[in-house]
Structure 1
C-alpha cells in the first residue's frame, strides 16, 4: 500500500475514487489504522476480535449489505463507508485513511458516498452523526452539503458523548 504520509501532495479527486464491496483484506487494513489523538477513539478492535464477535464489518452479512470500500485508481484502500438503513433514511458511517485526514479530501469523499447512498435508496434522506467536538469533520460535512439538524447525548464505548445529527441538504 502507498505510504500516504510520504506523499505530501496526494489528494485524490472524485474521479480518482471508486466504491466497491468491502473485502476481508479491506476490513483487516481498517482494523490496523491508527489515528492521532483525539481521533484515536475511532480505532477499531483487532480484526480477529471483529470477526470472532461479528462486530460491524466483522459480520460477513452486515459487511456485504451495509459496508463498502473506497479505493483510489491504484486500487489502494483510502476509506470506507457504512450505509445504515433506517426507515426513510440512509445513515452514513465513514472513515478515511488516517494519513489522508485533514488534507481537504473530505468533501469529495462525502460526495462520492452521497451518490452511492442515493443510488442504493433514492427515496431516502441521508444523515450522519458526528461528535460535537470534531470540528474538522463538521467542516468537511458542511462543505459537502450537510447541516446540523439536532444535537443529543448518546452512549459510546467510552461513555456518554454529545453528537450532532447532520442531514444532507444539497442536490448533487
Structure 2
C-alpha cells in the first residue's frame, strides 16, 4: 500500500523520482491499478494472466530488458516505463499511478524517462504514441519537449483508435 494515495497535495518533483529495474512485486501492483473512465482502457490483465501468457512485463526477458519502475524517495512505486527498441528509435511506453494522474507531475515524469532513454540509446530518436483524445497526456508530453509528428488509426484491445505519434525534440 502506498502512502501518497491518501495525501491530497502529494507532488513529487523530478528530484524525487528514481528509475530502477521493474521487480515482480511492482509488476503485480501495476496490474491492480484502476483508472477512472475514460482512462480505464489503460488497465492491464491480471498478473497471473500476464505471467502465464508472457505478455509485456509478464515476460521475464522483456521485463528485464525493456521495462523499468519509477519510485519516489521512500521507494513507493509511482509509475513505470517501457523503452521499446525500434530501428533508430526508442519508443516510450509509460504509466503513472492512478492516484497521481492530474496532479501536475506528468511533465517531470516524462522528462525523467527521456533522460533514461537517452542514457540507454543516445544515438536513437525518442517517440511515443498517445490516443488523440488524451489531452492531459498530450499537454504533459508537449511540455516535456514532444511534438505531434503523425496521426493514424491502430488496433487496441477495445478496437481501432486514433493515435498521435509524438517525437521528442532535444531543443524544444
| TM-score, with structure 2 as normaliser | 0.98
1: CA distance between counterparts of 2:22 and 2:133?
Answer: 29
Counterpart position of 1:31: 31
**How many residue pairs were aligned?**
172
2: CA distance between counterparts of 1:159 and 1:8?
Answer: 35
Counterpart position of 1:2: 2
Q: How does 1:36-115 map to 2 (within 5 A)?
A: 36-115=36-115
Specify the SS of the correspondent of 2:28.
helix
CA shift in 2, pair 1:17/1:111, >3 Å: same
How much has 1:171 moved relative to structure 2? 4.2
| Stretches of structure 1 lacking an aligned partner (at least 5 in a row) | none
1:71-124 C-alpha deviation (Å, 9 max, x unpaired): 000000000000000000000000000000001100000110000000000000
Counterpart position of 1:144: 144
2: CA distance between counterparts of 1:105 and 1:163?
Answer: 22
Counterpart position of 2:119: 119
| Stretches of structure 2 lacking an aligned partner (at least 5 in a row) | none
Q: Does 1:16 align with 2:16?
A: yes
Counterpart position of 1:165: 165
1: CA distance between counterparts of 2:139 and 2:3?
Answer: 26
Specify the SS of the correspondent of 1:73.
coil
2: CA distance between counterparts of 1:62 and 1:99?
Answer: 26
1:56-80 C-alpha deviation (Å, 9 max, x unpaired): 0000000000000000000000000
How much has 1:6 moved relative to structure 2? 1.7
| TM-score, with structure 1 as normaliser | 0.98
2: CA distance between counterparts of 1:26 and 1:130?
Answer: 24
| Misfit runs of 4+, over 6 Å | none
